[in-house]
Structure 1
Amino acid sequence: MKTRCGSHRNASWGLALLLLAFAPGLAAQRQHAAPATHPPGAAIASGHALATDAGLATLRAGGNAFDAAVTVSAVLSVVEPISSGLGGGGFFLLHDAQSGKDVFLDARETAPEAATPAAYLDRDGDLDPDRAQNGPWSAGIPGLPAALVELAGHYGRLPLRRTLAPAIRIAREGFPVYARLEKGYAARRTVMERYPGTRAVFLADGDPPQVGETLRQPDLARTLELLAERGFDGFYRGDVADRLVAAVNAEGGRWTAAELAAYRVRTREPLRFRYRDWDITTAPPPSSGGVALAQILQIAAGWDLAQLDPAHRVHILVEAMRRAYRDRTIYLGDPDFVTMPLARLTSADYAAGLRATIHPDKATPSALLPGQPAPLEDEETTHFSIIDAEGNIVSATQTVNLLYGSGLVAPGTGVLLNDEMDDFALKPGTPNAFGVMGFAANAPAPGKRMLSSMTPTIMASPDKIAALGAPGGSRIITEVLLGILGYDAGLGAQQVAALPRIHHQWWPDVISAEAGALDAATVQALQAMGHTVNAAEGPWGNLQTVAWDRSDNTLSGGSDPRNPVGSARVQPQAPAR
């Protein structure tokens, strides 16, 4: 059974709550008593109760938030194969309470040498979606196992054999299949059953996973044991590496042992900016999320949103989204390979210039925004958030990209490989599976990391600190955006996780909204401004957040009610020492 802190909410709150998040002036005045210096315990929010509970157990065993992150990440890799796993990658935003430093660990997958743009085109020169999204050619070199080793070795206190033990046990003994796993498998069954290693895991009892059945993954348990025993070499060299290479090559792909052994986590400087009285620390490239957040919020800061009617509040945010996603498409990529005008893109002056192009009463057709770069000047995915009793914070997002990644499990490893190659601009100007286009900055090259929308974020005001993030492909950024606006409006963690959602990504030129997020009058007013509105989409996303209110020294957590197996829990007592 899932456990959440805070009152239960769901997307049926609809328009009223959405508008509250867009109207910071409606929030109650914050208290400014002397803030607490240490949290009264710990809080974890993740996409599955087994991961949340395992992370809290790691804290009770004397670990810190970084040890707990290893545990939560590994358990999610076992119980959420639809979303993430050892065959994928992720971003880990860390705050070290003792030093006050923030660190961004980039464990994004990398392109193998054979993955040239030409390898993904059909005979007519068009993008081959099957090769880009399914099977061996869709998979990048995994980064998540290296991130777990990095977290344990440089930030945690406990050995991997302790922090990985829950994931090993759950992989071996199994866990109950839930509805999203069953539904996702049905959607991807044709692809997954191409591969013998995948069939051995998901058809072990003769039929596809069904709700209530126990899914056991003994090969994955052994892979996790090797990672615990040998660290980096347990995955990237030796038996597991040999099996991964053999599996990819047997299915027609081209990996080498040298490429696996050469993988490294990159430590990067987080992106920082200011919004109202919040200091926002978030993901830098190869994530596009932080840059887009900085642009959208700084553009929107030019208006008193609380004084606008509902339609105009949405209009302003959508126009800011439109411009940010346009810049994402044109400029952003792997910082180890491309030069990006980040100082310009994230500056208040640049935001003011973009703001000046927004008509207060009319939509800007996306086709009128230039689609070529200017000269340079200088669901599928999961998230968890952790605060420990020392004030250490982890905001982490990890993924295998689409549902069940590539669909290819390497025989004898239990490792389901990602299909992140689709996140490259494999053919410039051609949308990927999320409808997002890209150009030269995000073209594949050997060892290059594909652009991502994953946006793990930490936000701090004089009296509150919160960590948040979400899955959702290109919609991750706007999920986190609405979460930031929700906290700024004075909402609690569970309220933030449940907020109704809207989204615009430059192309296609349409406002997406969950059913009930916008009322009929608001939709009609937006249409009169020239917007195309899809106001009846199904729910999306799975936001996970924790918050520490330093004014009264309380912790809270929010787990998205769209995900019935998610869990946010507060552990009031300080971890045992």
Structure 2
Amino acid sequence: MRFSMKWPALHARAVLLGLLLVSGATFADDTRTDTAAHKGPVALRGPGKAAIASANFHATEAGLEVIAKGGNAFDAAIAVAATLSVVEPESSGIGGGFMAVLHRAADGKQIFIDARETAPAAVDPKDYVEKDGSPNRDTALNGPLSAGIPGEPAGLAWLAQHYGKLPLKQSLAPAVRIARDGFAPDSRLINAIAERQQDIRRWPASVAKFLPDGQPPVAGKTWRDPDQARTLELLGEQGGDGFYRGDVAQKLVAAVRAAGGNWTAKDLESYQVKERQPIVADYRGYRIVTAPPPSSGGVAVAEILNILSGFDLSKLDAAHRTHLVIEAMRRAFRDHNDYLGDPDFVKMPLDMLLSPYYADGLRQTILPDKATPSAMLPASAGAEPGMHTTHFSVIDPEGNIASITLTVNYTLGSTFVAKGTGVLLNDEMDDFALVPNKPNVYGLLGSKANAPEPGKRMLSSMTPSIVFGADRVGVIGSPGGSTIITQVLEGILAFIDGKDALGIAGQKRFHHQFMPDRVDVEDGVFDAATSEALTKMGHTLKPRSPWGYMNVVTWDLKTGKLDAASDPRRPSGLGKVQ
């Protein structure tokens, strides 16, 4: 059924939304957007060159070095990820995890790699709750109790074994070299260490790594990480066993347990990479291949695009176009909070959430010139969205594509380094709904679907995506906590509107995540007239900074031209074609 009636009151629209939410099973038969493993264009000819965009020039150069030695996009991805673990530990690392959307040129196969962290078997929700029932922010964000079992090392080994052309050791070599010989840390890393040094000082091995001579690194001075170099060497020599078994695993477990954590050797040995079907959304003649759960990003992006597909945004002024996008964001984040979790543990109504008929109903709840208070779409209070994680994009000469987002969650993760390994552990346990309907560090709410359980993967906002059009391909992703989803959405819309890589990565941004009920805006994103019009519609605009650092690669299929751009907000990033 399709809803075309006009409702005279906002209350009636809220009632309609409630009916839609409880009747989703009726929408499962007819979808334009689904989780089927659609193939992309098989006949694409490779561009003959490679393009990589990442948040650090060392990582981009490492990826291009591996391609020059005969590797493909997936080998390059290993090199980029491992190098970022060394030079950008504030955002990602082998003590964290990643999600990847891949396109294999040989057969057009689209792949989603889930190397997300998992909860240890001994996880106890009581460890993350204060006596008054509120979330315990210290145990959720700092030290070993905040860390999930890392997935990145297994994910890198998986990429090499199943999709790369080179031995894992060869792809990891640039990162090993940089960690061993040293590099000059950029200002963002130096500032991150200074910002979190009080927490770093709680852990002796963290002090040894991040506070040489008892102070944060100094600009221009070489910084070395020999312990991580050795850990990466063992990973290269032994594959996943070099991290999840043997000497490194023993040191990880010993360090975690000595500091009050609950990891076991079996937790590490049991970790598995998951290959899942990506979500595929069709919008205005473009096919968007994006991340499925345990990412919430792909579902939200697809839901937003389904809602927007009923409007001709090109015929609207900036204020009304933005209003509709905000309202679609609001509704998608509301569903994000209630339904999504680890697909191996919870059943989610994806047929409903991704159905065009569900989107039709949601669209009817949007007034053309008035904001919908989030309180009308059952809610509770949220907090500030965060700005962490990292993303990179790769296209190789054959046309293989990698869109990969990596994270340790908050800046410098848990700040806990396991002695003798160089491994900085994540603090991904905070991405669980540790206390249902209470916001995490990014202000995101959650339900029992995302409650912690042994071996369960916490919900993520990571949204690596590939956009296929008749004439162009775009590889898009971003860090940014909960704003990842909206930044990627805006990047996709900009790509469809014809912007180049730098135009996509550098465009001004806005964000709405249902709660708190406001629009976070970057300085300059709206002109004065648009801001005034949105305010009159009932939107609360709040300036914020910083924003995530997007990295984009585009490919013109007519000319074969590649274009790569790193976010201009991050001077140390590099987008390069070679």
Do the structures match in fold with TM over 0.5? Answer: yes
CA–CA distance in structure 2, aligned partners of residues 186 and 341 of structure 1: 44
Offset from partner CA, 1:453-477 (integer Å, 9 cap, x none): 0000000011111111000000001
Report the alpha carbon displacement of residue 539 of structure 1 after superposing the two structures with TM. Answer: 3.3
Matched residue type, 2:207: R
Report the alpha carbon displacement of residue 36 of structure 1 after superposing the two structures with TM. Answer: 6.2
Matched residue type, 2:408: V
Report the alpha carbon displacement of residue 183 of structure 1 after superposing the two structures with TM. Answer: 1.2
Question: Which residue of structure 1 aligns with residue 449 of structure 2?
Answer: 441
1:405 to 400, 413, 433: 413
CA–CA distance in structure 2, aligned partners of residues 517 and 280 of structure 1: 25
Question: Which residue of structure 2 aligns with residue 339 of structure 1?
Answer: 347
CA–CA distance in structure 1, aligned partners of residues 471 and 249 of structure 2: 47
Question: Which residue of structure 2 aligns with residue 9 of structure 1?
Answer: none
Question: Which residue of structure 1 aligns with residue 258 of structure 2?
Answer: 250
Indicate whether 1:135 and 2:143 are aligned. yes
Question: Which residue of structure 2 aligns with residue 556 of structure 1?
Answer: 563
Offset from partner CA, 1:55-90 (integer Å, 9 cap, x none): 111111011111111111111111110000010000
Report the alpha carbon displacement of residue 370 of structure 1 after superposing the two structures with TM. Answer: 2.7
Alignment of 1:156-555 (within 5 A): 156-371=164-379, 379-534=387-542, 536-555=543-562
Report if the CA contact (8 A) 1:84-1:399 is conserved.
yes
| Equivalent pairs, count | 530
CA–CA distance in structure 1, aligned partners of residues 138 and 466 of structure 2: 37
Matched residue type, 2:552: T
Report if the CA contact (8 A) 1:409-1:415 is conserved.
yes
CA–CA distance in structure 1, aligned partners of residues 235 and 323 of structure 2: 49
Where does structure 2 lack aligned partners over 5 or more consecutive residues? 1-42, 381-386
Matched residue type, 2:74: F
Report if the CA contact (8 A) 2:44-2:399 is conserved.
no
SS of the residue corresponding to residue 196 of structure 2 reads: helix
SS of the residue corresponding to residue 316 of structure 1 reads: helix
CA–CA distance in structure 2, aligned partners of residues 177 and 36 of structure 1: 39
Indicate whether 1:104 and 2:104 are aligned. no
SS of the residue corresponding to residue 327 of structure 1 reads: helix
SS of the residue corresponding to residue 215 of structure 1 reads: coil
Indicate whether 1:88 and 2:96 are aligned. yes
TM-score, with normalisation over the residues of structure 1? 0.91
Matched residue type, 1:357: T
TM-score, with normalisation over the residues of structure 2? 0.90
Matched residue type, 1:538: S
Report the alpha carbon displacement of residue 40 of structure 1 after superposing the two structures with TM. Answer: 2.7
Offset from partner CA, 1:374-414 (integer Å, 9 cap, x none): xxxxx421111111111100000000000000000001000
Report if the CA contact (8 A) 1:105-1:265 is conserved.
yes
Report if the CA contact (8 A) 1:178-1:210 is conserved.
no
SS of the residue corresponding to residue 95 of structure 1 reads: strand
Matched residue type, 1:274: D
Question: Which residue of structure 1 aligns with residue 52 of structure 2?
Answer: 44
CA–CA distance in structure 1, aligned partners of residues 44 and 236 of structure 2: 37
Report the alpha carbon displacement of residue 528 of structure 1 after superposing the two structures with TM. Answer: 1.1
Report the alpha carbon displacement of residue 110 of structure 1 after superposing the two structures with TM. Answer: 0.1
Question: Which residue of structure 2 aligns with residue 569 of structure 1?
Answer: 576
SS of the residue corresponding to residue 475 of structure 2 reads: strand
Report if the CA contact (8 A) 1:202-1:208 is conserved.
yes
Offset from partner CA, 1:495-521 (integer Å, 9 cap, x none): 111010000000000000001111222
Report if the CA contact (8 A) 2:379-2:515 is conserved.
no
Question: Which residue of structure 1 aligns with residue 77 of structure 2?
Answer: 69
Matched residue type, 2:465: T
CA–CA distance in structure 2, aligned partners of residues 317 and 157 of structure 1: 42
Matched residue type, 2:464: P
CA–CA distance in structure 2, aligned partners of residues 224 and 539 of structure 1: 32
CA–CA distance in structure 2, aligned partners of residues 76 and 549 of structure 1: 28
